[in-house]
A and B are shown apart, each in its own frame.
Chain A
């Protein structure tokens, strides 16, 4: 299997702010690869670098063996790019948008028209071809955006936060479509998201935090790495109780967003023990297999939601 995307030692600065520091990874052909992380974690910068929108400051990016730095004009047709803020011209119709995009990728005439009707029907928007984009709903625009990014038959599809602003139904549709696309055409898909459930559908996940990859593996392995069960206690005085629990039982505890978290094997045995030892002080208990959120919290020491917007 060949490597679709290889990023080596990529660092990027905006002025004094380090947005990416020494990021390296490789994505295999036909893989669905997700970058998970809070906003401000570097996802969008990484996306922009891969999309060739911003120049590489330090490091290297290769797409199907071609270096972005030396082979820009040859790399670009290989990439299908769906930006977070839609790149459609709202004053143009769906069809006019696609034809303009096709011309930018050197397509023309009958071949362009054929491919246009193909992608429109694949995404179920054929009936809206002559509608102005400004009259479409957010979900439909996202689909047209995707149709546009696929028009020139790219081998690597990259999407920046494709689900942002979509309702749950539209998000499911999008994922259904991406999975089908991967199975039918073998396209490689790299996307960024801050939705945990979405990351679970990926082949592999990289967690990006403060410009660094803090974890990279399959969703199952990442969850297994946390170990045991994850116990969450809701209480009125979390800090105090957390200290008492760790004094009493000699286990690691942490307080995240006003809740006590414990990662322990045999979680169900612990519930009775904790409630007996601290009667009336625990309001509710949750036990579960570790989620990606637990992975994120464990690797970064902070919950994914609280870190949002903090840098």
Chain B
């Protein structure tokens, strides 16, 4: 039987999650920022780059750019929501809310899970609403593939929110987080296959293409984007025509495995970093 403080921690986690929801929906600019920008990018790039984009072999009709770019946009919504949710850790610390949480009789994981489950739920909610736009692309998915995508998005959202937690925990200012976001998180997304597919390895490839392949292959987000893309076409896999001689895409199994591992890893890292902070100087 768990100790009483474990029960208390569960209630604390629920309360902290609920707080994330309240805060998010009271700050309308956050809703606009997290969904509006990816949506705008999707429409602008999707239509603008339509004619210069070709991933299918020359003689076949592959996905349009609007269609290709859809899973990446979905992941970008998760990423932005995760960033907004975890940037609030810095505000919580600066504004003083966090100190009262840190002295409460709860375990560290309740603090982490409260933040992560709050941020991730909001992200998944927004992602699922965006997912309905897939119907305008004539992509049809079954209920089971919708549920599978939802679960996959939830895992990805947890991993991104945990990653944001790890980055934000020791950060003194939101400016620092913005710098990290531009230097690390955005490139990570750009190199995820969201915008262009990873080049396939070939005998005569240029070294820069080889480097690109390696970077993208090592990027956990590549597997998130590929997983969503593969599941979107689960009912009609024939529509997802990508030239396999030119481009590399992870398999569905690889996508699930890497995403699961990445989620577990980032979550553990977040719990560990949340423990360390109080050994640090608390200087205001």
Residues of A within 8 A of B (CB): 14-15, 48, 51-55, 72-74, 76-77, 79, 81, 83, 85-92, 96, 99-101, 103-106, 108, 148
Contact = CB atoms under 8 A, between A and B. Distances in A.
Contacts of B104: 76, 101, 104-105
A85 B105 CA distance: 20
B4 interface: yes
Given A14-B283, A85-B96, A88-B97, A53 B22 contact: no
Given A87-B99, A89-B19, A106-B7, 18 more contacts: A51-B103, A53-B102, A54-B278, A55-B278, A55-B279, A83-B100, A88-B96, A89-B23, A91-B22, A91-B23, A91-B26, A104-B100, A104-B101, A104-B104, A104-B105, A104-B106, A105-B105, A106-B5
Contacts of A92: 19, 22-23
A87 B99 CA distance: 7
- The 10 nearest A-B residue pairs measured at CB: A103-B15, A106-B8, A87-B100, A104-B104, A76-B105, A85-B96, A87-B96, A104-B12, A100-B15, A103-B11
Contacts of A99: 15
Interface in B1-52: 4-5, 7-8, 11-12, 14-16, 18-19, 22-23, 26-27
Interface of B: 4-5, 7-8, 11-12, 14-16, 18-19, 22-23, 26-27, 92, 95-106, 278-279, 281-284
Nearest to A12: B281
15 contacts: A52-B103, A54-B282, A76-B104, A89-B23, A89-B95, A91-B23, A96-B22, A101-B100, A104-B100, A104-B101, A105-B105, A106-B5, A106-B7, A106-B12, A106-B105
B73 to A, nearest CB: 28
A40 B149 CA distance: 55
Contact of B278 (A14, A53, A104): A53
Contacts of B278: 53-55
Contacts of A106: 4-5, 7-8, 11-12, 105
A269 B12 CA distance: 67
Contacts of A105: 8, 104-105
A77 B105 CA distance: 6
Contact of B103 (A81, A90, A96, A148): A81
Contacts of A52: 103
The B contact surface, by secondary structure, is helix
Given A85-B96, A104-B12, A91 B103 contact: no
B277 to A, nearest CB: 10
Contacts of A48: 282
A1 B104 CA distance: 27
B111 to A, nearest CB: 10
Nearest to A57: B279
B14 A103 contact: yes
Contacts of B16: 100, 104
A100 to B, nearest CB: 5
Contacts of B14: 103
B97 A104 contact: no
B11 A79 contact: no
Interface centre among A73, A86, A92, A148 (most CB of B within 10 A): A73
A53 to B, nearest CB: 5
Contact of B11 (A73, A76, A108): A108
Contact of B99 (A83, A96, A148): A83
A158 to B, nearest CB: 10
A86 B97 CA distance: 7
Contacts of B103: 51-53, 76, 79, 81
Contact of A81 (B15, B18, B22, B100): B100
Interface centre among B4, B8, B101 (most CB of A within 10 A): B8
B281 A14 contact: yes
Nearest to A89: B97
Contacts of B97: 87-89
A91 B97 CA distance: 11
Contacts of B27: 91
A103 B18 CA distance: 11
Given A105-B105, A106-B8, A100 B96 contact: no
Contacts of A87: 96-100
B283 to A, nearest CB: 7
Contacts of B279: 55
Contacts of B22: 91-92, 96
Contacts of B105: 72-74, 76-77, 104-106
A104 B101 CA distance: 7
A81 B99 CA distance: 10
Contacts of B11: 103, 106, 108
Contacts of A51: 103
A138 B273 CA distance: 34
